[in-house]
Structure 1
Amino acid sequence: MKVERQLKRKWGTRNQQGPNSSWRGKDNNTGKVAPKVEPQQPRNLDIKCLGTRHIASQCPNKRAMILKDSREAVSDSDEDGMPKLEDVSDDGGMEYPVEEDALVWLDDHGKVKVNKRVLFNLSIGRYKNEVSYGVVPMDAGHILLGRPWLIKRELLEYPISNYINIKGGFYGRDFNLIKISYGNSTQIISPQNFICSGRYLLKLESGPHKRSEQKNCLVYSRKNKIVKAVAVSVPSSPADNAEDRKQLSENYGFRQIGEPLPDNVTLKDIVDTLPRKVFEIDDVKAWKSVLISVTSYALGIFMIAKAPWYLLPLAWAFTGTAITGFFVIGHDCAHKSFSRNKLVEDIVGTLAFLPLIYPYEPWRFKHDRHHAKTNMLSEDTAWHPVWLEEFESSPILRKAIIYGYGPFRPLMSIAHWLMWHFDLKKFRSNEVKRVKISLACVSAFIAIGWPLIILKTGIMGWIKFWLMPWLGYHFWMSTFTMVHHTAPHIPFKSSDEWNAAQAQLNGTVHCDYPHWIEILCHDINVHIPHHISSRIPSYNLRAAHKSLQENWGKYMNEATWNWRLMKTILTICHVYDKEQNYVAFDELAPKDSQPITFLKKVMPDYA
C-alpha cells in the first residue's frame, strides 16, 4: 500500500519592511500621504505544503512510502528525503493492546493485533521530537472513515429497518450499515431474516444532508456485536432491480412492486391509453350500486336486531362494510362520475354521507386536493408521514402520535374527519357557502336522527344500531386509505420533486379484498385507475385496471390483503425520512414505543 506523505514547509521569504518603513508614509516631494501597498501573494501557491511557484500536483515535497507485507516501511526513492521509520519493537513480537477498547475491522476476524511499533522523527521549525506509533494494517476504505482508533463508537441494531447504526466519530457524523445479501446481484435482505454478518452498504449522515458510500468499513466497539462488511456495488434504489423488487414484495406483503416510472412519462400519456368506454356514465349501473348499498345496510340492521349477543360483532362488521358503500356512492358523486345531472349528484352525495355524519362539500373540496397533490409532503390532504419536528416537539404529543399511528391507526380516520371537515378557516372564501350547507345538513341529522334512535331503542340502542356500524365504517375508511398510498417503498416528495404520473401510478396500491367486501364497497380498492382519472365511475374501475395492466403493468403496485402488509404499515411507516422514506418510531424513541413493540409481537406475519 502506498500512503502519500506531504511535508509542510514554512512560507517563503516574507516581504518585510525595514524599521523606518511604514504602510502610511509621505511622498518626499509632494508631502502627500502615500497609499497603503499590500504585498501580493504568489500566483502559484500549493495550499498543501504552502510552498510557492508550484501547484499541488507538481509539489517537489510529495513523497510515497511503501508498507510491505512484512510491515516494513520503505521509501520508493533512495534519495527522496523522506525520514526513515525506525523499528522500536524490542519485545519479541509482543502484542500491544489498544487502550481501553479494541479496534475491530469489519472485514476481518477478531481484534486487530498491534505487534509492531515504529519511531517517527518529527520537526516543525525549531521544534523537534520523536514519537512512537503502533503499526496497524489499513486500506483505502479505512482511511475514508478517519482515525477510528481515536474515537469511541456505539453500535445499535435495527432489525426491522434492516440496518446497523454506528454513533459518533467521523467528524461528528453517524453512519449506517444497511444489510444486503450475497449472490449474483445485490438485494435487500428481509427484516425478518436480519443477520449481523455479510455485506453492508455504508450510509454517512450529517444533519439533514445525507449521502451513501460503498466502502470497506471499520467500527470501534466495546461490548457490542461485531459485524462484517465488504465493498459491493449496489443499485441506487431497491426498486431498480427485479430481484430486489421481488424480495421487497415478499418482505412487505405485496404481490408485485412496480418498476420506477420514467421521468418523461406524463399523466396524460397514461390516460390516453385507457379506452373511452371506461369514462362513460351508465345510470342503470349507478342506481344499481345505490340499491346494493341500501339493501345490504337494511339487512345489516335486521341482523343486529335479531342476532344474539355473541354474533353481534359479525353483524356490526357486515353493517359497517355495507355503510361504507354509501361513502363510495357519495365519492362518485363528488368526482362527477355518478350522473350527468350535477344537481342529482349533489343531492345523492349529501344524502349518502348523512348516516356517516360526514359533511359532503367539505370532504369533496379536500378530496379533490388529495387527487391533485397525491403523496406530496405538505399539500396532500389525506394521510402523510409524521414530521420529525412534530414527533420530537413534546413527550405527550409523541405518545399520542405513537398510539395513533400504531395500534389505533385503523380508526385514525375519525381524527381526520374531525380535524379537516368542520373548521371553516380551512376552506377558501368561494367554498365557505357550500361548506355551511353541508354542515347544516349534518347538524340536522344529528339533531333529529339521534334523538329518534334513542327514543325508540335507548342509549344502548344508539350504540348498538348506529355507533358500532359507524366505527366499522371508519375501520374500512382508515384501512383502505393507508393501504392505498402507504408502503416503505412509496415515497412522499416535496412539491419541487413531485411528479404527477409517478405519484398516481407508482404511488398508489391496488389491493384485492375478499369478494363480498369488494361488492359492498363497489370496487373502491381497484384504486390505481381511480387516481389516473377520477372521472372513471366505480363500476368501470376493473375494466380500466385491466387496460392499465396491459400497458403499464410493470410499473404498478399490487397486493392481496394480508397480515404482513398490515404489520409492515403499522410498525414501519411512521416518521418521514427523505432517504429511507420512513423511520419507525422504535428507532427514534425506543422507550416510548412499547405499542409498536407490542404490535410486532402479537400481529401475525403471514402473507
Structure 2
Amino acid sequence: MALNYNSHPAEVAAKDGPSDIRIDELKKAIPPRCFKSSYIRSSFSLFQDMALAILIMRAAFLFVPQIQSVPVRWLAWAFYGWIEGLIFTGLWVLAHECGHGALFPSKYMNNFFGFVLHSALMVPYFSWQSTHRRHHLYANNMNFDHNYVPPRESEYFKTLWSKVQRVEDLAEDVPAQLLGMPTYLLTNITASPTSLHRPKSKRWLGNGHLDPTGSLFRPEEAYLVLCSDLGLVAMAAALYFTGRQIGSGTTMLLYLQPYFWVNHWFVAITYLHHTHPDLPKYEPEAWNFVKGATATVDREFGPIGRYLFHGIIEFHVVHHLFPHIPFYHREEATQAIIPVLGDAYHCDKDRRFLPGLWESFTKCQYVEADEATSPKDQALWYKSGPSPPPEYSMTRKGWLLKIW
C-alpha cells in the first residue's frame, strides 16, 4: 500500500483490507454510552489536575526555600519535581485526549484546552496532533508508523558497530532518556523514514514538528504548525519573564524538574505500549487497521497509572481502536471487547514498570519476519540482540560484536 501524500490520512485508513476481526464487530460490543464524553466529568478532571499542579507549585515556592538544612532542602526540591512531574504528565494525557477530540463534545474546547496545556508543556499541539493521528491510523505499519518503528534484522546488524562508535545513537535507544520527547519533536526520531508527507528535507529541523513547510505536513497544515510554534514562543516568554521576577534558578526548579519527568514518563509509557516480545509488526502488504491497533499492550501501573495518568497505561488497546472514547469509559470498553478479540488482545499486567521496561529493552532489539506462506499473512517479531549471524562474526570488528 502506497501512501498518497495528497490525501487525508483518514481516507487511507478507510481502505483497510479484510481482517479476522472487524472494527464494526468491536464497536457493536461496546455500550454506546462509552463513546460519549461529558462536559462535567471532563471539566472536573481537567480543573482538578490544574488546581493540584498550581497548589503543589505554590507550596514548593513558599516553603521549600525556607528549609534551613541544605541537604533536606535539595531533597525536598527533588521530591517536588517527581510529584509535580506526575501531575504534569496527567495534564499531558488530558491534552492528548483533546488531540483525539475525546475530552469534550466540542471540537473547539478540545483544541483550545489541548493547545493551552501542550504549549504550557512545550509541545507543539497541532503539529503533534497531526503526526499522532497518523500514528494511530498506521500503528505497527513498518512503512508508515510514527512511533517506535524497530529496525529490521539486516538494518540492526549493519548499524551495530556504528552505534558503538556514535554515543549519541546509543542514547537514542534508551527509552527513559530525559530529552526523548524534544528529540522526537525536533527530528521525528523512531518514525519510519517513509512516513513523511513530502520528500525528506535537507533543512535543519525540516523533518521535525516545528517547520510549517517541512516534510511531515501537508501544505494546508502550515498555519496550524505556525500556531503551534507561536504557542511555544509564548510559553518560553512566560518562563523568561517569570525568571526575571523570581530568579532563573527557582524557575528551573519549579518548571524544568517536572518537565524532565514528563519527558521521561511520555517516552517510557509510549515505548512500553508498543514494544513487547509478543507484539507483531507488519509490512504494508500484511497490515490493516485492526491488526495494527491490536498489536499494542495494556500494562499495569497501579494507582498512579489509573488516577494520575488517567488509565493511559492500563487501557491502551481500546484507545488505539477507538481513540474518541474518553478515558473514563475505557475500562468498560476494554472489558466489552476482550471476548471479541480473544487471543488478539495483549495484556501484561502481572509485570510492573521496571521489569517490563527491562524485558522490552533486552528482548526487543530488532524484528524478523516469520515464515508465513503468503505475504498477506506475514508478521515481523521482536528478537533480542546483539547475536549476529555467521556472516557478521568474521567482520573486522567481529570480536567486539561477540563480546558485546
- How would you bin the TM-score normalised by the shorter chain? 0.7 to 0.9
Aligned match of 1:99: none
Matched, 1:523 2:308: no
Q: Is the 8 A contact 2:277 2:383 kept in 1?
A: no
Q: Kindly provide the amino acid, as one letter, of the partner of residue 547 in structure 1.
A: A
Q: Deviations over 1:360-385 (max 9, x none)?
A: 10011001101100011121111211
- What is the aligned partner in structure 2 of residue 404 from structure 1? 172
- 1:498 counterpart SS class: coil
CA contact under 8 A between 1:376 and 1:492: conserved in structure 2?
yes
| Structure 1 residue 406 displacement after superposition | 3.4
> In the alignment, is the contact (CA less than 8 A) between 2:298 and 2:347 conserved in 1?
yes
After superposition, give the CA deviation of every residue in 1:76-121 in whole Å (9 maximum; x if it has no partner): xxxxxxxxxxxxxxxxxxxxxxxxxxxxxxxxxxxxxxxxxxxxxx
Give, in whole Å, the separation in 2 of the partners of 1:413 and 1:593: 33
Unaligned segments of structure 1, at least 5 residues: 1-261, 598-607
Give the distance between the partners of 1:295 and 1:391, measured in 2 at CA.
50
Q: How many Å apart are 1:314 and its aligned residue?
A: 2.3
Q: Which residue of 1 aligns with 2:80?
A: 315
Q: Does structure 1 residue 371 correspond to structure 2 residue 136? A: yes
User: What do the CA deviations read for 1:233-275 (whole angstroms, capped 9, x no partner)?
Assistant: xxxxxxxxxxxxxxxxxxxxxxxxxxxxx94222222222111
Q: 2:196 matched to which residue of 1?
A: none
Deviation at 1:476, TM superposition (A): 0.9
Alignment of 1:25-424 (within 5 A): 263-302=19-58, 304-305=60-61, 306-307=63-64, 308-387=73-152, 388-389=154-155, 392-393=158-159, 395=162, 399-406=167-174, 408-409=176-177, 411-420=179-188, 421-424=209-212
Cα pair 2:176 2:265 within 8 Å, conserved: no
Structure 2: give runs of 5+ residues left out of the alignment: 1-17, 65-72, 189-208, 371-379, 389-397
Residues 528 and 382 (structure 1), Cα distance of their counterparts in 2 relative to 1, 3 Å cut: same
Given residue 367 of structure 1, which amino acid in structure 2 is its aligned partner? H
TM-score by length of 2: 0.75
The Cα shift of 1:302 comes to 3.6
Q: Which amino acid aligns with 1:401?
A: D
Q: Which has the larger radius of gyration?
A: 1
Question: Quick one: which of 432, 452, 466 aligns to 2:222?
Answer: 432
The reply on whether 1:574 has 2:365 as its aligned counterpart is yes
**Percent sequence identity over matched residues?**
20
Offset, 1:550 = 4.2
The structure whose residues are more often strand, as a share, is: 1
Distance of aligned partners of 1:593 and 1:323 in 2 relative to their CA distance in 1, 3 Å threshold: farther
2:271 corresponds to: 482
User: Please, which of 233, 243, 255 is the counterpart of residue 454 of structure 1?
Assistant: 243
For each residue in 1:188-246, what CA deviation from the matched residue of structure 2 results, as whole angstroms up to 9, or x when unmatched? xxxxxxxxxxxxxxxxxxxxxxxxxxxxxxxxxxxxxxxxxxxxxxxxxxxxxxxxxxx
RMSD of aligned alpha carbons: 2.5
| Distance (whole Å) between structure 1 residues aligned to residue 252 and residue 162 of structure 2 | 34
SS at match of 2:219: coil
Structure 2 letter corresponding to 1:487: H
Is the CA contact (8 Å cut-off) linking 1:572 and 1:582 kept in structure 2? yes
Question: Which residue in 2 is equivalent to 1:563?
Answer: 354
Q: Distance in 2 between matches of 1:551 and 1:352?
A: 36
**In 2, Cα distance between equivalents of 1:538 and 1:406:** 28
Match of 1:430, as an amino acid? E
- How far apart, in 1, do the equivalents of 2:157 and 2:298 lie? 30
In 2, Cα distance between equivalents of 1:586 and 1:516 = 34
**Mapped partners of 1:590, 1:379: distance in 2:** 36
The answer to whether the Cα contact below 8 Å between 2:312 and 2:327 also exists between their aligned partners in 1 is yes
1:496 to 274, 281, 285: 285
Instruction: State the one-letter code of the partner of 1:321.
Output: L
Paired amino acid for 1:523: G
SS of residue in 1 equivalent to 2:382: strand
Letter in 1 for 2:170: I
In structure 1, how many angstroms separate the alpha carbons of the residues matched to 2:106 and 2:175?
Answer: 43
Structure 1 counterpart of 2:318, one-letter code: P
Superposed displacement of residue 467, structure 1: 1.2
Worse-matched range after superposition: 556-565 or 531-540: 556-565
Separation in 1 of the partners of 2:240 and 2:31?
49
CA separation of 1:338/1:272 partners in 2, compared to 1, >3 Å: closer, same or farther? same
Distance in 2 (alpha carbons) for counterparts of 1:352 and 1:593: 48
Q: In structure 2, what is the equivalent of residue 534 of structure 1?
A: 323
Distance 1:299 1:590 in 2: 57
- Whole-Å separation in 2 of the counterparts to 1:294 and 1:365: 25
The structure whose residues are more often helix, as a share, is 2
Name the CA distance, whole Å, in 1 between partners of 2:181 and 2:137. Answer: 20
TM-score, normalized by length of structure 1? 0.51
Shift of the alpha carbon at 1:303?
5.0
Give the deviation of 1:566 after TM superposition: 0.9
- Deviation, structure 1 residue 523: 1.6
Task: Output one character per residue of 1:546-599: Cα deviation in whole Å (capped at 9) or x when no partner.
Answer: 2123443543211232432111112222223224623444324883799xx7xx
Contact kept, 8 Å, 1:304 with 1:464, in 2: the verdict is no
User: Structure 2 counterpart of 1:395, which letter?
Assistant: S
Deviations 1:430-462 (A, max 9, x none): 11111111111211221x212123213323223
**Quick one: which amino acid aligns to residue 289 of structure 2?**
A
**Aligned pair in 2 of structure 1 residues 486, 527: CA closer, same or farther (>3 Å)?**
same
